[in-house]
Structure formats: C-alpha cells, structure tokens
Chain A
C-alpha cells in the first residue's frame, strides 16, 4: 500500500482518480491546485504524486518545479495526468523533472500498475 497525493481542480476527475487508487488498496490525499498540493506534500510526504496540468493558482508544471526544490518533493515520483499532448509541454515537464506523462482518459489498471512500479 502506498500513500498517493492526487491533484486535480476538477472534482469529478479527482473523485474518480481517488476511487481508482483506493480500490487498488492505496491511501489517497487530495489537493485541488498546485498551492494546496505543495502544502500536502510537505505535511504528508506521499510515496507518489499524480497531478493534473491545467489548474488555477499554480499549474501542474509550476507545482513540480516548486516541489523539486523542496526536500519533501525532491525525489518523489510525480506523474502528470492531463488531456494535453503537446510536445513543448512534455519537454517542459522533463525539464522540471516530472517522472512521466499520462494522457487522459486514464486506464485504471495502467495507473495502478504505474503506482506499483514507481512508488
């Protein structure tokens, strides 16, 4: 069992992702934007983070960039889960040291497989 921080500004999407992770036996912590995610990361020290890209206040890329500068987020696997597919954004994700890129809609088995693999 891993502790996963799930980040998405869409409540239905966040609920669906959390439900998938809980069914896989994992503990889920939630955040609705990058600012909240950064606070949750420091407080709960999750084994892995799955974050949306387009969010208000602080987007997924800004969040990862900030997380990597913090001891709590320096080494934790962080996956982006997004509807975006643009190469420029993927390049930016690599630059800020995201662990990987998943394109929505997600496959629950695939997500759980990645959690087992990376966390």
Chain B
C-alpha cells in the first residue's frame, strides 16, 4: 500500500532502477518494498523515517516559511510540525509502530545566498533535528548544511540512503523554486478548514 501526494514513479538511470520521486512540499510512504524513494534538496530538508521491524518507510520534503512573513516563531515552525506529522501519521496508518521508528535527515544547504535566505538551510536543519528529538525518534545519520544541493535515495526496507551532491545542475533552478515555495508555504498552509457539527 502506498500513500502520499504528488509523487512520481519513474526509471532513474543514475541508479538503474525505478524510484518514487517526491516533489517539494509533499511526502510519500510505502510498506516493505525494494523501490527507493528519492527527492532533490537545496535549502529544504527531508526526514527519511522507517519502521525497523516492518520495513515500512517514507520521506517528506519541506522548508519553513519565511520568518518575516510570520508574526512569530510558532507560526513559522507550525508548517514544519505539520510536514512531520503527516509523514509519521501515514507511516502509522500502514502499520508502523512509533517506538520502532528511526530517522536519517538530509538537506538544509545554503544554496540560497541572498541576505534573507542565508540561514534558511540552518533553520530547517535545526527544526527537523529538534522535532525528532522531541518525538523521541532516534536520528541515525545526518547530512545537513554545506553549499551543494543533494539528490537523496532512501531505501526504507533496509534503511540505506544514498546521497549525491549536485555539482553540475545549477543551484539557480533549485533556488528559484525554493524562494517561491517559501513565500507560498505560509499562505497555503495557514488555514485548515473548520466544520462545526
């Protein structure tokens, strides 16, 4: 069983096999399957989380909204809390147990060098580590920060992760997408629906 949104399965020549690619702002989980889940990270971060017993696993891809547009820190981190919660909830729905979860975290590069985005990668990195610490989910490995974007392949069945640093692919493309995503994130996610019965 698979769950999640906006994920594309395709044949990836870099690994000579199929992969499920997760777009920014989305997540994907799967039961014990050999197919790796992948994503492309600049300043964004990704938590790769798996159940060590069942082999179910998944990853998300998110970044915190621009703080200047958020009235306080709470509102900025609210978006990250949501991104982590939907990933963990979907893992629990396919049979994962919270006490069996372990994580590896990636991304948070400083691909965006403008003054307002200088610390975006670091903020995202700190957030994801603090969240997992608070939830009591052990972080087995991390590859955060630096100046290069990363292509991440996560194999939930055995927990393996391959990280490719992106050198040739222009950071500009990723940067533009992330700036836009960051501006949209707050507006898009500030209002959940309300229904009174």
Contacts and interface: CB of A to CB of B under 8 A. Distances in A.
Contacts of A105: 78-79, 81-82, 189-190, 192
Given A98-B197, A101-B194, A12 B74 contact: no
A18 B187 CA distance: 23
A10 B85 contact: yes
A56 interface: yes
A83 B78 contact: no
Nearest to B86: A83
A13 B193 contact: no
A16 B89 contact: no
A102 B193 contact: yes
B15 interface: no
Contact residues of B: prevailing secondary structure: helix
Interface residues of B, number: 28
Interface of A: 9-13, 15-16, 19-20, 54, 56, 83, 85, 90, 93-94, 97-108, 110, 114
B197 A12 contact: no
B172 interface: no
A19 B77 CA distance: 13
Contact of A83 (B79, B85, B131): B85
B88 interface: yes
8 contacts: A9-B98, A11-B136, A16-B78, A97-B197, A100-B195, A100-B197, A101-B194, A103-B192
A94 B197 CA distance: 6
Contacts of B92: 54
A98 B119 CA distance: 43
B196 interface: yes
A110 B191 contact: yes
Contacts of B173: none
Given A56-B98, A93-B197, A105-B79, A12 B135 contact: yes
B135 A20 contact: no
A107 B197 contact: no
B74 A107 contact: no
Contacts of A94: 197
Nearest to B98: A56
A15 B85 CA distance: 13
B195 A16 contact: no
